[in-house]
């Protein structure tokens, strides 16, 4: 068993993991337009959620997500596969969101911090869940920006550590370490709440 695990993990994990979107991209590059629709359906929710961390308003997130998909459509023919399709599209989404923030800076009453990505989204549904869920979400909101980003991308968007690292502009090892400290701090916050 250990030898199998060693065999598997001795190779670059990214090479082992097959990009599930790769086939769609190849079909699109071969001229099949509908392959892009499948990609949109598959990733629009994740991209929308990622963009919402920047722009705060649902309607704005929808607009920016649409722009991001249009840019992805135009660039997909030249996609080379250096990263996974998902992280490539998420990177486009982040760039579009940053552009949107820059263009709408004056309209935003509150200052956009550099860590806007990791600010808590004050969605109404956050208050709807059970008490435990609300406590957990509140605890997530207290995490340091980088740890929060890594945790959310990993847990809620199901990204690999490699993809998280690409989006968080850090090394894969740093992403893993940030993830560990995010979980640890979350536990500390929850235990502190329970004791209090």
Partner 1 sequence: MAERPSSELLAAYVDGIGELDVEERRRVERFLSDPAMRAEQAATRDILDQLRALPDETPNVDWAAMERAIHAEVGDEVPKRSFFYRWRFALPAFALAGAAAIVFLMLRAQEDPADDVSPLVFAPNPMPDHQPPVFERLDDRVTVYLDGTDLEIAETAELDELADLDLDDVPVDEASLGFLEPSDLAWIDDLDDDALARAEKALARPIKLRKGSGTRVPREGI
Smaller CB separation from partner 1, 18 or 106: 18
Asked if residue 24 binds partner 1 (CB under 8 A), the reply is no
Asked if residue 57 binds partner 1 (CB under 8 A), the reply is no
Q: Considering only residues 20, 22, 70, 115, which one is a binding residue for partner 1 as defined by CB under 8 A? A: 70
Asked if residue 171 binds partner 1 (CB under 8 A), the reply is no
Q: Considering only residues 41, 103, 106, 107, which one is a binding residue for partner 1 as defined by CB under 8 A? A: 41
Smaller CB separation from partner 1, 62 or 99: 62
Write down the residue that tokens 């995490």 correspond to: 143
Smaller CB separation from partner 1, 91 or 137: 137
CA pair distance 64, 50, nearest whole angstrom: 11
DSSP the chain: -HHHHHHHHTS-HHHHS--TTHHHHHHHHTT-THHHHHHHHHHHHHHHHHHHHHH-SHHHHHHHHHHHHHHHHHHGGG---SS-HHHHHHHHHHHHHHHHHHHTTTT-SS---TTGGGSPP--GGGGTS-HHHHHHHHHHHTS-HHHHHHHHHHHTS---HHHHHHHHTS-HHHHHHHHHHHHHHHHHHHHHHHH-
Chain positions 75 to 134 lying near partner 1, rule: CB under 8 A, are 76-78, 123-126, 128-129, 132-133
Options 18-26, 89-97, 108-116, 147-155: segment touching partner 1 (CB under 8 A) = 147-155
Asked if residue 155 binds partner 1 (CB under 8 A), the reply is yes
Q: Both tokens of residue 100?
A: 């949107």
Q: Considering only residues 160, 166, 167, 168, which one is a binding residue for partner 1 as defined by CB under 8 A? A: 160
Instruction: Enumerate binding residues for partner 1 (CB under 8 A).
Output: 5-6, 8-10, 13, 16, 28-29, 31-33, 36-37, 40-41, 44-45, 48-49, 58, 62, 65-66, 69-70, 73-74, 76-78, 123-126, 128-129, 132-133, 136-137, 140, 151, 154-156, 160-162, 173, 176-177, 179-184, 186-187, 190
């Amino acid at each position: 068993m250990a030898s199998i695990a060693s065999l598997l993990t001795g190779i670059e994990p990214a090479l082992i993991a097959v990009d599930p979107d790769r086939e769609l991209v190849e079909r699109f590059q071969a001229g099949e337009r509908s392959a892009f629709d499948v990609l949109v359906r598959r990733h629009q929710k994740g991209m929308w959620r990622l963009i919402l961390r920047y722009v705060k308003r649902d309607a704005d997130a929808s607009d920016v997500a649409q722009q991001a998909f249009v840019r992805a459509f135009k660039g997909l023919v030249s996609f080379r596969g250096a990263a996974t399709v998902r992280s490539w599209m998420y990177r486009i989404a982040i760039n579009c969101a940053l552009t949107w923030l820059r263009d709408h800076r004056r309209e935003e009453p509150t200052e956009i911090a550099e860590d806007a990505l990791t600010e808590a989204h004050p969605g109404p549904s956050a208050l709807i869940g059970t008490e435990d869920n609300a406590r957990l979400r509140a605890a997530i909101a207290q995490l340091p920006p980088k740890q929060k980003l890594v945790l959310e991308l990993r847990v809620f968007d199901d990204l690999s550590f490699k993809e998280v690292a690409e989006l968080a502009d850090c090394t894969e090892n740093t992403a893993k370490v940030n993830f560990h400290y995010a979980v640890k701090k979350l536990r500390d916050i929850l235990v502190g709440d329970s004791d209090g």
